[in-house]
Structure 1
Amino acid sequence: MATLERHVFGRRTEKLPTVADELRGDADSTAARAEAAKKKRQERATRKAEEAPEREIRHAVPDEERQCPACGGEDLKPLGKGRTSVLYEYVPARFERQVHVQEVLACTCGRGVVTAPPPARVVDRGEYGPGFIAHVVTSKCADAMPLHRLAQRVERSGVPMSRSTLTDLF
């Protein structure tokens, strides 16, 4: 009975599909539309991430670690471009996308590889730096800004963001 009442008297967004639509199988088109909308959101987030200002920060292997773990030799050469990781950071009045590149060195003996230490992170495997998280907390607590509005502001600045991500960070 409740389903019928919602179908007849419910809000437009809550209405169930008509019986004729259900018989024709338009439920598949609804799922396809939802999938297309999700893909469009993901493409937009990717495009915004590429538009964000970017700064590359290189991390070199410290001098005391520049030796082969296998043979102890110090004749090391670069192995590829290094490991890259992305971290979004808040620089007052703007956001920037920092690309951290860790130097990877290989020994000439062919058995040892040495990698520069990764940058320190607030959250393990997190994409957001301490300045970004401090900005979220300050905006929410000190400025009393709702997270959905903060998410819109961050999106306008070029960082792909959802309200649920801000909630988790907060």
Structure 2
Amino acid sequence: MRSGSDITCVASATSKGKLAPFAQVLVTLTKEEHIQLRWEANSWKRQHQQALTRIEQLKADHRLAMEQAAQREAALRSELEKAEGKIRDLQKRLFGRKSERSSSAEKAPGVDAKSPRPRGQQSGAAGHGRARESHLPAQVETIELDCPHCPACGLGYADFPGTEDSEILEIDVKPYRRVIRRRRYRRTCQCPGTPGILTAPPPARLIPRGKYGVSIWVHLLLSKFSYGQPTHRLLRDWSDYE
């Protein structure tokens, strides 16, 4: 008597109606082999299903990536069109025909658009003069001759009333020392808990007990971070003040 189960494998007929050579061959398997084959078949089916699921997920991710890429491409194309339009507008403003010239040429097509009157200050016209900077502080300087005399006879010149005045704008930047004298006050009462001597508070400083004032730090920061002046050049300029 055989142990295990008998499995009959029946093959389908061919197109000519003939059976395969092993169509009616009986194969005898043990129960353990049968279970192993069924387990492997189920395992391969499960892996195949997982592979199909991964493929579908990859397809979905690919479609999403393509849609996002298309959106980015559309946004970039829109930005490119805006940039090209701005460039065309700037080129038209810079190199295009001026509206004033074109309008004058349209009004008088047969007449030369160039005006016979030159631009700017006209010859013989009264000017507006120089602007007087009266809001700036003035430093009066009197220039005198050491010994004014006639070069022919040697007699001296007498004083003439009035002066001939002119103005020159100058900038004077120089360091100086602030000598701080803080007044002190002595107590005249006998109230308990009060100090015997009061001293005026010190001036404000950026660094406590530092010797450089706020104006130096302001000048340093503006020169370095606003005007882009190197530190060694700034120190060299300060050394010229000594």
Q: TM-score range by the shorter chain?
A: 0.3 to 0.5
TM-score normalised over the length of structure 2: 0.25
Structure with more strand by fraction? 1
Higher relative contact order (CA 8 A, sep 6+): 1
